[in-house]
């Protein structure tokens, strides 16, 4: 089976979690759709500001490649920004072709909260016609480990 993991990361915590989940997905061939803010802090903030204002011109080419047709499962991993994931999440869900009817998993990373943002992700994915088969929140104030992500990955793998 094939899975696409679409994640957004500014500080690396969501990427680390996505990769730990992927390592446990032994029944799947894993591909990534990473939206990674890179560079100096100020450059990351500028890009984040563009994305939050729905300017995705910097990743337009990548967004145009999004197609769920070749995958059995789509996994979305996002940080928590208030009660929502970043705007990039909505953009990815809106842009991914052939998504209706697919199986999906949503997870997010957070420092203090995260529950409402995860619910938001689930609702958006279901509104797009996909079925959320599993979900998880990874909440740690400081260092985010891999243990729980691997457990979650194994759980997905057995479904
Ligand atoms: C603009 C902004 C808003 C955030 N809002 C929240 C929040 O409401 N609740 C929370 O628990 N963490 C919040 N965080 C922390 C991130 O969600 C958390 O550190 C996440 O794991 C970062 O993922 P990343 O390292 O992949 O970018 C916020 C971070 C940023 C930059």
Give me ligand 1 centre to Cα 137, in Å: 12
CATH code for the domain in which residue 73 is found: 3.40.50.360
Q: Give the 3-state DSSP-derived string for the chain, with helices as H, strands as E and coil as C.
A: CEEEEEEEECCCHHHHHHHHHHHHCCCCEEEEEEEECCCCHHHHHHHHHHHHCCCCHHHHHHHHCCECCCCCEEEEEEECECCECCHHHHHHHHHCECCCCCEEEEEEEECCCCHHHHHHHHHHHHHCCCEEEEEEEEECCCCCCCHHHHHHHHHHHCC
pLDDT per residue as tens, the chain (159 positions): 999 999 999 999 999 999 999 999 999 999 999 999 999 999 999 999 999 999 999 999 999 999 999 999 999 999 999 999 999 999 999 999 999 999 999 999 999 998 999 999 999 999 999 999 999 999 999 999 999 999 999 999 999
The predicted pLDDT at position 118 comes to 98
- Which ligand 1 atom minimizes the distance to the CA of 82? 8
Residues 6+ apart with CB under 8 A from 55: none
Give me ligand 1 centre to Cα 81, in Å: 5
30, 157 Cβ separation under 8 angstroms: no
Q: Which residues line ligand 1 (CB under 6 A)?
A: 9-15, 79-82, 109-114
- Which ligand 1 atom minimizes the distance to the CA of 13? 25
The predicted pLDDT at position 114 comes to 87
- What is the number of domains present in the chain? 1
Domain span at residue 128 reads 2-157
């Amino acid at each position: 089976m094939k899975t696409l993991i679409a994640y957004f990361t500014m500080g690396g915590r969501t990427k680390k979690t996505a990769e730990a989940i992927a390592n446990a997905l032994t029944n799947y061939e894993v591909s990534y759709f990473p939206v990674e803010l890179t560079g100096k802090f100020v450059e990351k903030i500028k890009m984040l500001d563009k994305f939050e204002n729905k300017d995705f011109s910097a990743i337009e080419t990548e967004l145009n490649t999004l197609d769920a047709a070749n995958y059995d499962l789509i996994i979305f991993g996002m940080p928590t920004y208030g009660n929502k994931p970043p705007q990039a999440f909505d953009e990815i869900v809106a842009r991914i072709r052939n998504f209706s009817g697919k199986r999906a998993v949503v997870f997010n990373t957070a420092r203090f909260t995260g529950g409402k943002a995860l619910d938001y992700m689930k609702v958006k994915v279901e509104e797009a016609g996909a079925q959320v088969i599993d979900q998880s929140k990874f909440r740690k104030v400081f260092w985010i480990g891999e243990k729980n992500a691997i457990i979650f990955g194994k759980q997905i793998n057995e479904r």
